[in-house]
Structure 1
């Protein structure tokens, strides 16, 4: 099992289908897990996926539309059933506060769950938490109601180079001593290591294409992005403040995204192959460099390894 991976619990948009549940995305990030947008039926999807909610340290909800949050009471009930003792913050935009508080009250679960809202400045991101040493931030998107996109950024670090360690005569337990102390027997950690870029994960749901999408996606190792419509229905996408598969793929390439996970599909499209074809062509037209995954319920998608 990868230490950093996405468990897809649901991929439908407004209406579920026979093969697609409402939204739900569990991000495993080292020893912690973050649950994004638990739509109706998420508790059952957790069971189908064979995952536990005991390691979910926080829940991130993009907005108050029910296909993104109506599963919250069931998830909290599941947490209580599995004996979760830690506090569970529920992050959301300020406008969603009362709606989510009502859902928490309906759950009436013995879990220390608290709705924690944020209201980022216009055109900017707000840091809201730390997950496994990575910074979790949020910024507003362009939807019919206030909606947030989320991004997780791991700080840069250093990677020891085996050949340099061997040349310096450092091995075994001494490597850890050097890492913790920064210097050992005249050898500095920076002399036997290389700078390592931190990993980034971005989560973009209901929105029109906007500068916020580009900023959230910039340089991300993995971008989970809505693609409610196909390009032939671009007028509907704009009317209802959503994106097409072509728009999502083009934005991902322009932002330098390594792996794009498309989801949140309208029930009007029974064939996922249409999304594969449209997004793959859009990536090629935009210059390539981004891998496209068209998500299905219960998929497990690894965050690409560090470069």
Structure 2
């Protein structure tokens, strides 16, 4: 079975705490290993999480505030130190190209890895990856900021009992998938007779934003949503002024968007008790809720059957 999980490296916002490192998230999605928002200390957090930097295939930066990008120099240099053999694409707001260039070459090192700068220049930009389509949506923050959404193509799930009933096995299954039909004992068996639709899985990453339409567009139908909840409702005015979400707003987005598993993160240092975020979110969202902590791993939920009731392969 393929591995799909989120590794949380850091969960603080502007100021780290004794228990919370600056931002950092790695999505392992089959052969794609995507880093989001590497804040200070990311390289060390990857070591503690047991993740080799050389495994990264892609880096996504939402914006160029320091808690979301100051770990980039160490990550880029480590890619070269480890002589990473494959190219690593880097996505970031195009208006921050100068910041990316400075961070990428922040100090002297022998550059051997191929880091490909692929800036995001428009709302709704789509990027092809081996895992599916990576979409970027413009968010509402004092500087240009993008959220990201990974969408796996829809496919079909083969039904073993129906395959067996038609006597289809082995290489014949591959031929059936390739051609859309198979002739068995003088009878044509279409693909939909032995399979059912399989909805592609969806992941969304939403950082540093006020509530806006694109927050919902990113979250819509996500199997796993990682979203900032910097403030609690008692500080809602401050959240709005700074371009951030409260835990209640993030949870309401998840509830209204049909999110299956919600991960809250990016917590202000003013709140020492993480249970308060869970309590506030529970008033809006009754689904699978994770209040993120550094170095936890959060699996992408198993697929649902076409009926939406039970896990499917």
TM-score (structure 2 length as normaliser): 0.92
Match of 2:38 in 1: 38
Question: Is 1:303 aligned to 2:300, yes or no?
Answer: yes
What's the CA shift for 1:33? Answer: 0.4
Match of 1:163 in 2: 161
What's the CA shift for 1:261? Answer: 0.5
Indicate if the aligned counterparts of 2:39 and 2:70 stay in contact, CA closer than 8 A. yes
Question: Is 1:94 aligned to 2:82, yes or no?
Answer: no
Q: Aligned partners of 1:85 and 1:166: how far apart in 2? A: 43
Q: How many residues align?
A: 298
Decide which of 288, 291, 312 is 1:294's aligned counterpart.
291
Of residues 1-10 and 94-103 in structure 1, the stretch that sits farther from structure 2 once superposed is: 1-10
Indicate if the aligned counterparts of 1:22 and 1:68 stay in contact, CA closer than 8 A. yes
Unaligned runs of 5+ in 1: none
Match of 1:104 in 2: 104
1:244-283 paired onto structure 2 within 5 Å:
244-283=246-285
Q: Aligned partners of 1:60 and 1:74: how far apart in 2? A: 15
What's the CA shift for 1:115? Answer: 2.5
Q: Aligned partners of 1:102 and 1:214: how far apart in 2? A: 33
Q: Aligned partners of 2:112 and 2:236: how far apart in 1? A: 45
Aligned Cα root-mean-square deviation (Å):
1.4
What's the CA shift for 1:188? Answer: 2.2
Match of 1:82 in 2: 82
What's the CA shift for 1:305? Answer: 1.2
Of residues 44-53 and 78-87 in structure 1, the stretch that sits farther from structure 2 once superposed is: 78-87
The runs of at least 4 consecutive aligned structure 1 residues that moved more than 4 Å come to none
Q: Aligned partners of 1:50 and 1:256: how far apart in 2? A: 32
Q: Aligned partners of 1:9 and 1:281: how far apart in 2? A: 27
Q: Aligned partners of 1:118 and 1:171: how far apart in 2? A: 45
Indicate if the aligned counterparts of 2:30 and 2:131 stay in contact, CA closer than 8 A. no
Secondary structure at the aligned position of 2:136 is classed as: strand
Secondary structure at the aligned position of 1:28 is classed as: strand
Indicate if the aligned counterparts of 2:29 and 2:131 stay in contact, CA closer than 8 A. no
Match of 1:179 in 2: 177
Secondary structure at the aligned position of 1:237 is classed as: helix
Q: Aligned partners of 1:133 and 1:31: how far apart in 2? A: 7
Match of 1:113 in 2: 115
Q: Aligned partners of 1:177 and 1:115: how far apart in 2? A: 39
Match of 2:223 in 1: 221
What do residues 68-101 of structure 1 show as CA deviations (whole Å, max 9, x unaligned)?
A: 0000011112212222022222101112110111
What do residues 224-256 of structure 1 show as CA deviations (whole Å, max 9, x unaligned)?
A: 000000111111101111000000000110011
Q: Aligned partners of 1:256 and 1:32: how far apart in 2? A: 25
Indicate if the aligned counterparts of 1:29 and 1:132 stay in contact, CA closer than 8 A. no
TM-score (structure 1 length as normaliser): 0.93
Q: Aligned partners of 2:146 and 2:160: how far apart in 1? A: 42
Secondary structure at the aligned position of 2:303 is classed as: coil
What's the CA shift for 1:183? Answer: 2.6
What's the CA shift for 1:172? Answer: 3.4
What's the CA shift for 1:2? Answer: 5.8
Q: Aligned partners of 1:79 and 1:117: how far apart in 2? A: 19
What's the CA shift for 1:22? Answer: 0.4
Match of 2:195 in 1: 193
